[in-house]
Chains A and B, each alone.
Chain A
């Protein structure tokens, strides 16, 4: 599994903003760093298929050998994680994860089995009893963990992280960061992390792309 960007350039009102040329192998995390306004988040939007006017993209974005430029966002199978957990407040903690399950898995399992599986996932982050809790009652660190579980529950083929630890204090960041890196590595997912924090890049220890 791999995500490749071949001569991918982002344009704003037809003015070139940035051009990149690299690929991310399975299980690898590549960091993208650069000044504010350089177009880092826009690059993630282009990869996930969420680009809107005045931005446009050229070049080839390929995921596992398939060119995905023209595939709508919801069929690209690329997960995203932001610095805010963005858990849906109209759903409980467990239902947020249930929301992400692929259709096939939803149909293959009975309601009780789905619940058991989600409780099992919550258990791995020490939140086994939290299925029916309102998301507002969770701490920032807990929300971030649930957010990653939700992203992974959709069985993505690649993951994009947009400053995922930007809002956490140092203690929480030190706890969460290794866990997130481990989760992505365990699943052998190609991942792209946009960050300001050189500490993130060091912790990941992989390649750094400057834009």
Chain B
């Protein structure tokens, strides 16, 4: 095997290791205290006593139920809404307008979305103020959202945040060349047989699309059942969801609470697994039920209802997206703003002047960490993919299948195992065996979340690259290394930049990994925003949210703009000297 191929194959194994080992080490680090083993606290015997004590904690069953319920319903709402939008508008020319409307919310961190939603839904928020215009009251309403015990606000916020992700994932599946050709042919064919466009999509495209969407949807479900930021900011604290409770117990001053927290983290993992299994069962039954309606020959089945629902979702989504942006902007410049007034008394730059100097350090930390994590993730992912297309095909059929499925499995491991269930264990591992230095620890825990997405976003363009370009370069006498750097990289420059941007955006948005691996001493914009949201002024929170939203948007804007400028002779004026070789 050639040197470059050996290196890339090695990096592919490294990729698998970096994804697996922290999750496994973390799981062990949580499981041991949950079973009563924690020598540092003087306990070195295994028993189930910790779990027995956990059952006696007030509301424990309710907390677990809330994690399951909010995550499951939110994922169901987001998935159905996304599929509804897609079915109703796939044949419309302005599908891409919807795509552009949804994209910004995708890169907005969960914490920022939750805080922005707080400005609208809270008793002194805009909805209440506008409502008071009609009811003529001067007191804030007594409604119980947010912070409601029913979990409705959490579900709403999660669904709002996950809808764009599922919608855009579905669009990306549908835009794969083979899939696109097939679906387009199916839809034309079905319409020629008299099916309405929306019905044609429901009956012919959806069954083809969903299997490709299953893994991302399950990742969303796993994330939603164990999310911390949204229930922390918008949820009830009496009792909180299990994931939030785990966080509070781990950070409790009383160190012996660690046992309870570890056991609860294990329960959280089980809650997520149960949610995943339930989803598969519901999905299976739904598939069985719908199979009959596929062939019931109704040419316009569901067309009107789905279109109506899609419009409703679109209007609702646009309304909240726009009011979130506007209200956050208004709050960040607001002076005195008593209750029934729809607008503040005046505007001021004071909050920006207060927040920006305080944000300098977190912004610097966030950018540095994001850039380093993302660059590393992209390099590793590219080399792992290079091994996939250059080395694996040369291995035996069995070995090739094994290595392929091993990577696919580990890719989704950090996305399926809830952060609260392994991050604490990972932190314990890191402090126990690699104490000293916060930055590498934070970097590792970010890498675990950034690498899968970077890999997934690069895999498609990398595999789609016309292999003849590569064969041609080999036939011109270029070595594998030269082909990688001088042919593949320029051809993939656009996707590589987008992956870099995505990696940075994901790193920016990480709350729990930063908080835990950094031991609370590594401040990023996201950790500061959550801290400010639960404490001081709404006006400062607004500034933090805007900064949080702007960072990924600037990164993505650069990622879209740069490829057109570099490596593109068509963009330069004629007659310029060649500087490439």
**Which residues does chain A contribute within 8 Å of B400, judged by CB atoms?**
53
Q: Which stretch from A21-29, A71-79, A165-173, A200-208 is at the chain B interface? A: A71-79
Per the 8 Å Cβ criterion, residues 80-98 of A in contact with B are 80, 82, 84, 86, 88-92, 94-95, 98
* B478 contacts A74, C-beta separation under 8 Å: yes
- The answer to the question of B568 belonging to the interface, with a C-beta cut-off of 8 Å to chain A, is yes
Q: How far is the CA of A137 from the CA of B568 in the complex (A)?
A: 12
Number of cross-chain contacts by CB at 8 Å = 112
Residue picked from A45, A73, A79, A94, most chain B C-beta under 10 Å: A73
Q: Across the interface, do A154 and B477 meet the contact criterion of CB distance under 8 Å?
A: yes
Asked if A156 is at the interface (CB within 8 A of a chain B CB), the reply is yes
Interface residue from A73, A95, A103, A132 paired with B474 (Cβ < 8 Å) = A73
Residues of A within 8 A of B478 (CB): 74
**Smallest CB gap from B480: residue in A:** A74
Q: Would B476 and A154 count as touching, CB distance under 8 A?
A: yes
Q: Which residues of B contact A102 (CB under 8 A)?
A: 477
Per the bound structure, the CA–CA distance linking A150 and B471 in Å amounts to 14
* Bound-complex Cα distance A100 to B483 (A): 12
Contacts A53-B397, A86-B466, A90-B569 hold; do A80 and B471 have CB atoms under 8 A apart?
yes
A136 at the interface (CB under 8 A from B): yes
Find the B residue at minimum CB distance from A77.
B477
Interface contact A80-B491, CB-CB below 8 Å: no
Q: Is the interface of B mostly helix, strand, loop or mixed?
A: helix
Is B354 engaged at the interface, CB distance under 8 Å to the other chain? no
**A-chain residues with CB within 8 Å of residue B330 when the two chains form the complex:** none
Known: A52-B393, A53-B397, A98-B581. A133 touches B476 (CB 8 A): no
Beyond A53-B400, A74-B480, is A137–B570 a contact (Cβ under 8 Å)? yes
Q: Considering the complex, which residues of chain A in the window 44-61 have a beta carbon less than 8 Å from any beta carbon of chain B?
A: 45, 48-50, 52-54
Q: How far is the CA of A94 from the CA of B396 in the complex (A)?
A: 41
- Check if A50 sits within 8 Å of B471, measured CB to CB: yes
- Given A53-B393, A75-B477, A102-B477, verify A48-B471 contact (CB < 8 Å): yes
A42 CB-CB contact with B under 8 Å: no
Chain A residue numbers with a CB within 8 Å of B468 are 80, 82, 84, 86
The residue on A at minimum CB distance from B5 is A72
**Residues 114-152 of A contacting B (Cβ, < 8 Å):** 114-115, 131-137, 150-151
- Please tell me if A99 contacts chain B, counting CB pairs below 8 Å: yes
**Beta-carbon nearest neighbor of B566 in chain A:** A90
Mask: chain B, 568-581; 1 = CB below 8 Å from A; 0 = not: 11100011111011
Q: Which residue among A50, A75, A156 has the maximum number of chain B CB atoms within 10 Å of its CB?
A: A50
**Across the interface, do A74 and B578 meet the contact criterion of CB distance under 8 Å?**
no
B324-337 contact mask (Cβ, 8 Å, vs A): 1 or 0: 00000000000000
In the complex, chain B residues 433-487 whose Cβ is within 8 Å of any chain A Cβ: 466, 468-469, 471-480, 483, 486-487
Q: Which residues of B contact A72 (CB under 8 A)?
A: 2, 474, 480
Contact of A74 among B469, B479, B576 (CB under 8 A): B479
Q: Are B466 and A156 in contact (CB under 8 A)?
A: no
CB-based contact B475/A90 at 8 Å: no
- For B207, the chain A residues whose CB sits under 8 A away are none
Residues of B within 8 A of A135 (CB): 569
Given A74-B478, A98-B581, A154-B477, A86-B472 contact (CB < 8 Å): yes
Beta-carbon contact of A150 and B476 below 8 Å: yes
Residues of A within 8 A of B576 (CB): 132
Among B468, B473, B483, B578, the most chain A Cβ lie within 10 Å of the Cβ of: B578
- Is A99's CB under 8 angstroms from B483's CB? no
How long is the Cα–Cα vector from A30 to B100 in the complex, in angstroms?
Answer: 54
Flag whether B186 is at the interface (Cβ < 8 A).
no
* B394 partner, pick from A52, A74, A99, beta carbons under 8 A: A52
Contact of B476 among A91, A100, A134 (CB under 8 A): A100
Residues of B within 8 A of A134 (CB): 568-570
Q: Which B residues are CB-close (under 8 A) to A84?
A: 466, 468
Q: A72-B474, A92-B580, A98-B580 known; 4 other A-B pairs, CB under 8 Å?
A: A53-B396, A80-B471, A99-B486, A99-B581
Q: Which 5 A-B pairs have the closest CB atoms?
A: A52-B393, A134-B570, A90-B490, A73-B474, A90-B567
Binding site for B on A (CB under 8 A): 13, 45, 48-50, 52-54, 72-80, 82, 84, 86, 88-92, 94-95, 98-100, 102-103, 106, 114-115, 131-137, 150-151, 153-154, 156, 160
